[in-house]
Amino acid sequence: NAGVTQTPKFQVLKTGQSMTLQCAQDMNHEYMSWYRQDPGMGLRLIHYSVGAGITDQGEVPNGYNVSRSTTEDFPLRLLSAAPSQTSVYFCASSYSYGRGVGGSPLHFGNGTRLTVT
């Protein structure tokens, strides 16, 4: 299993440009999510999905769009990039959110480092 795969690893955008960060998992996980990691802010949830066709907002959704047409893929779209979106983005998935004894820990991708100038 490749686990959670994110592409690209690095990206530089100019203000106003749009792009899509790709995330794919091959573990048949129901739950997928996007986080951004900023110094001193920890990991903040952008959007998440509990299954194909179902998405919802996290703490910091503004400026981002997601869709979940398949179980495997959960792309994150930046509609019009802004310098405030300079960050490291992580995709994470888990087998089955919250169900069963012990919870279901997240599996993370390697991250995408995005710089917006």
| Footprint on this chain of another protein (rule: CB under 8 A) | 31, 33, 35, 40-45, 48, 50, 56, 58, 90, 92, 97-98, 101-103, 105-106, 108-111
Closest distance between another protein and the C-beta of residue 35, in Å? 7
CB of 50 to another protein, least distance (A): 5
CB 3 within 8 A of CB 26: yes
- Least Å distance, CB 88 to another protein, is 10
Virtual CA dihedral for 83, 87, 93, 97, nearest 10 degrees?
-80
Measured from the CB atom, the residue of 38 and 83 that comes closer to another protein is: 38
Side chain identity at 96, as an amino acid letter?
Answer: S
